[in-house]
Amino acid sequence: MMLGTVIITLLASSIAIVIWKMKRGTRLGFSRTTHFIFMGSYIALLIVILIVSELMAQTQNRPDLKRVSASQQEFDVDRAIITGKPIPEEELLIERLHEVKGSLTIKQSDYGYNLHYYIERSKNGGNQVIERVYRPSLINGEDSNGYDISNYVQVNLPKWTDDEVNVPMQPTQKLVFTSFHDSNVISQFTNQQTLEYYNGYSMRSMKVYLIVPDSVQLNIQLESDSYNEITRD
């Protein structure tokens, strides 16, 4: 892009000087004074272009992307929920408490969305349900090798009305991240190799983990493969 700007600027300057010379009825030859004026104006223009481009680059929003590699194994939230092992806080999207009146209906509006419920029956009495929602994971690389952009994935949290919980349809979203590379011409004069950015992605679905007391009657209106019931010893 910078090389193209330089070439266009050079051509425009040359054409402008030719037109100026033709209007004055002088020969197209460059005098010493004309040469210095041309070179000085061209250098000044390049400096202005460089300053403007640097200022524009500084004002752009730069996303804070976490680099991950295949050697960094992603935390298995599903296995941790099933086995009852601790889960890192950064995996938790939200935790809430809900009071129900003896029964709870569990629904899902959009069965096409990749979502999974875990329903644990607690032996504690009462009518208080603990809800934990674990964030979806999105990595823009094959075999979990690339950049973690999970923080930029928008989700609609479960909605609670009276004694019913329902996960609404998730928002339609498009994530686009643009990267800039040095041109091949510049790379030929350096020892550094151009970095290759990954193509493709890997995704982990959002998890909704409900801890429901045994005293609460459950009405589960979900597809059989979209939830697991957990009973602790």
Q: Which of the listed residues 12, 42, 59 is the one where a domain comes to its end?
A: 59
Please, what is the average pLDDT of the chain?
75
Q: What are phi and psi of 18, to 5 degrees?
A: -60, -45
Q: What is the pLDDT of residues 197-216, one digit of tens each?
A: 555 566 788 999 999 998 89
Q: What is this structure's pTM?
A: 0.65
Q: What is the pLDDT of residues 163-201, one digit of tens each?
A: 899 988 888 777 776 655 554 444 545 555 545 555 556
Q: What is the pLDDT of residues 61-92, one digit of tens each?
A: 556 677 776 556 678 899 999 999 999 998 99
Name the band, by pLDDT with cuts 50, 70 and 90, for residue 133.
Answer: very high
For residue 25, what are the domain limits? 2-59
Do 107 and 35 lie in one domain? The reply is no
Mean pLDDT throughout 136-147? 72
Do 81 and 123 lie in one domain? The reply is yes
Do 74 and 53 lie in one domain? The reply is no
Do 49 and 74 lie in one domain? The reply is no
Q: Which residue has the higher pLDDT, 165 or 113?
A: 165
pLDDT of residue 130: 95
